[in-house]
Chain A
Amino acid sequence: MSAQASQGPAKRKKVAFLDREATSVTEAFLQRLLVGIHTFLSNGLAVAGLTIILLLIAVAAFAPWMATHDPNLQNLSMALKPPSSANWFGTDEYGRDIFSRIVYGSRVTLYIVTLVTITVGPIGLIVGTVSGYFGGMVDMIVMRITDLFLAFPGLILTLTFVAILGPGLEQAVLAIALTGWPAIARLARAETMTIRSSDYIAAARLQGASSLRIIFGSIIPVCLSSVIVRLTLGMASVILTAAGLGFLGLGAQPPTPEWGAMTSAGREYMLDSWWLVTAPGVAIMVVSLAFNLFGDGLRDVLDPKSK
């Protein structure tokens, strides 16, 4: 390395970092990272999506400072007031400040999305790769089970699980996660099957690596990028499903400031007080749009062939 550097530093300097051949794993990684970041940043919509998500996280983290009122404080003399300088998005039927409830609702949304994603991702990834790697009987059983899950529109299966588990936020998260893993498993399985018989897996096997080591060391890292893309795009539908459950009264229960439940509660007063349903709906839409945009941008970077 040092010999090379001393031989032609002048020549080297002219070649941009990205154009030169990587000489180490770290360098190759850094190059790819830079190209990826550049691709992502050149997609304005994706950057907008990421910005909104970061904002959402900030709002959730600093909710007590962002909110202008206590989200659960009832004040019947202030009920159903239209948007004003005191109550930016108006007040609901109990006189609670809608803006503050939306601010606190971001915590509920993030809680659901995070919990679902960190359960669904690893489970789907492991089930899919194991099933794809071993094939045979294991694979057949897993495939039939995922077939069964994928034979339903997501919301209806989720509703069924909620019916068993009972209404509530934790139950909704569990139900959404139960319906979510098969899609990830399928994806991971398909990726595994395409790389299962490639040379570097064979090489690892010849070196005496155990199946477990091959799956975790050589297969999962390769599947990871497409799974991450799918999970990100899936976050938008997790938000919509959770909001739908809340709207039907089967998700988060009052007085939790969940956006779907807020929309549902506002329905009764909607004809006279339009702001009750407008604000939480817009919140759901903006956040879900942000995850869709971010996921799209991420796909262009991580998984360009599936575009």
Chain B
Amino acid sequence: MGRFFKRNKLKRAAQSLASVLVTLLLLVTLTFFLGQVMPVDVVSRLVGPDADQATYQATYERLGLDQPIIVQFGIYISRMVQGDFGTALLTGHQVLDDIIRVFPATVELGTLALLIGAGIGVPLGVLAAVQRNRSADHIIRIVTLLGHSVPIFWIGLMGLLLFYSYLGWVGGGGRVEIYYEGLVETRTGLLLVDSLLAGDTEVFWSAVRHIILPATVLGYASMASLCRLTRSFMIDQLSQEYITAARVKGVSEWNVVWHHAFRNIRVQLLTVIALTYGSMLEGAVLIETIFAWPGFGQYLTNNLLLGDMNAIMVCVLLVGVIFITLNMLADLLYKIFDPRTVQ
């Protein structure tokens, strides 16, 4: 019997791996064909408008554009497998290098935002579930509904106006004050960590003053959805019979909520949080534009406005890979931590 389960599990793992691989392959295909239909002449972008016909032709052939489309697709895939993602058309930089350079800034912002969102959203969701249909629940409902309805770029602008321009409590655009720029050696790319490692508290506090507003704004949207989900998970648990049993036994309300009910939603919650982390990228596109945050979102937006298709396609590919990975991770977390799925 044990053996049967094991084989079954292996088969299931293989199936899910296969479906992930198919999705990845589709993703690469999609970016390739999107690149094909882009209304941009890659060659003239590379050689410049003044190049003569021979240079144009040479570059055209070097890029393999004279080959049939299937062959081009093959070349594209084989280059990807070798880790060559091409260069940005306008700067000539390797796109992958560019992305590696800007990505830590987004990770730093997104992680802090997630901490804020989960740190506030989860307790609020529990409170709303416990106080179901009472005034606290209604207030929390309105706060979260606003989080779903308010344009994130607008909150960012209003935050800047209030806390930066009028009150002067936080820093403006960028990651630190301009005169601190480049003072701290880059080790992790996370400025908060780097400045602490270097022991430079002045830069650290400047970085804190700059990240706190964008991270809070970005966290608000995730706070709203995490709060709503926590509430519905908790209501599910609190209406179960084991909760009544615990109450009858005389377990204190605090223990009923946190030690009985909350323990049982942790796995679900962890899965949802993992997925929320990925959706930070979406908000980051807008938030980074407003706060002049030199991260992935700003890089993507800039390239969108410039029409640099190579860079855009690599960005899209990366976002897809991140999402697929997070989805897999969430599945995995569920399987590892949910005792019911452990054989």
A residues bordering B, Cβ < 8 Å?
A: 144-145, 147-148, 151-157, 159-160, 162-164, 166, 236, 240, 243-244, 247-250, 260, 263-264, 267, 270-271, 274, 277-278, 280-281, 284-285, 288-289, 292-293, 296
Contact: A164 with B38, CB < 8 Å?
A: yes
Question: Complex Cα distance A243/B149, Å?
Answer: 12
Question: Complex Cα distance A151/B318, Å?
Answer: 11
Which of A152, A160, A243, A277 contacts B157, CB < 8 Å?
A: A277
Judged by a CB distance under 8 angstroms, whether B293 is at the interface is no
Interface range, B side: 35 or more
Contact: B316 with A244, CB < 8 Å?
A: no
> Shortest beta-carbon distance, B264 to chain A, in Å?
20
A sample of 10 more A-B contacts (CB under 8 A), given A153-B323, A263-B154, A271-B165, is A144-B23, A151-B324, A152-B316, A157-B316, A163-B312, A166-B39, A248-B285, A270-B160, A277-B158, A289-B150
> Shortest beta-carbon distance, A156 to chain B, in Å?
5
Contact: B149 with A288, CB < 8 Å?
A: yes
Judged by a CB distance under 8 angstroms, whether B112 is at the interface is no
Contact: A284 with B323, CB < 8 Å?
A: no
Contact: B146 with A160, CB < 8 Å?
A: no
User: Which residues of chain B are within 8 angstroms of A240 by Cβ–Cβ distance?
Assistant: 149, 151-152
> Shortest beta-carbon distance, B97 to chain A, in Å?
21
Judged by a CB distance under 8 angstroms, whether B198 is at the interface is no
Scan B16-27; emit 1 where CB is below 8 A from any A CB, else 0.
000100110011
Which of A151, A156, A236, A277 contacts B148, CB < 8 Å?
A: A236
Q: Chain A binding site: helix, strand, loop or mixed by DSSP?
A: helix
> Shortest beta-carbon distance, A99 to chain B, in Å?
18
Q: Chain B binding site: helix, strand, loop or mixed by DSSP?
A: helix
Which chain B residues numbered 246 to 279 have a C-beta less than 8 Å away from chain A?
A: 278-279
Question: Complex Cα distance A272/B19, Å?
Answer: 54
A-B contact count (CB 8 A): 130
Judged by a CB distance under 8 angstroms, whether B34 is at the interface is yes
Contact: A248 with B301, CB < 8 Å?
A: yes
> Shortest beta-carbon distance, A185 to chain B, in Å?
16
B residues bordering A, Cβ < 8 Å?
A: 19, 22-23, 26-27, 30, 34, 37-39, 145-146, 148-154, 157-158, 160-161, 165, 278-279, 281-282, 285-286, 289-290, 300-301, 304-305, 307, 309, 312, 316, 319-320, 323-324, 327
Question: Complex Cα distance A156/B319, Å?
Answer: 8
Known contacts A153-B323, A154-B282, A271-B161: does B151 contact A243 (CB below 8 Å)? yes
Known contacts A148-B26, A289-B146, A292-B145: does B154 contact A153 (CB below 8 Å)? no
The 5 closest A-B pairs by CB, nearest first: A281-B154, A153-B282, A289-B149, A288-B149, A155-B282
Question: Complex Cα distance A240/B282, Å?
Answer: 12
Contact: B34 with A160, CB < 8 Å?
A: yes
> Shortest beta-carbon distance, A266 to chain B, in Å?
8
> Shortest beta-carbon distance, B72 to chain A, in Å?
18
> Would you mind naming 28 contact pairs between A and B with Cβ atoms under 8 Å apart?
A147-B23, A151-B327, A153-B279, A156-B281, A156-B282, A156-B316, A157-B316, A159-B285, A159-B301, A160-B34, A163-B304, A163-B309, A243-B151, A243-B153, A244-B286, A248-B286, A263-B154, A270-B157, A270-B160, A270-B161, A271-B165, A277-B157, A281-B154, A284-B151, A285-B149, A288-B149, A293-B145, A296-B145
User: Which residues of chain A are within 8 angstroms of B279 by Cβ–Cβ distance?
Assistant: 153
User: Which residues of chain B are within 8 angstroms of A293 by Cβ–Cβ distance?
Assistant: 145
Known contacts A151-B23, A153-B281, A236-B148: does B304 contact A281 (CB below 8 Å)? no
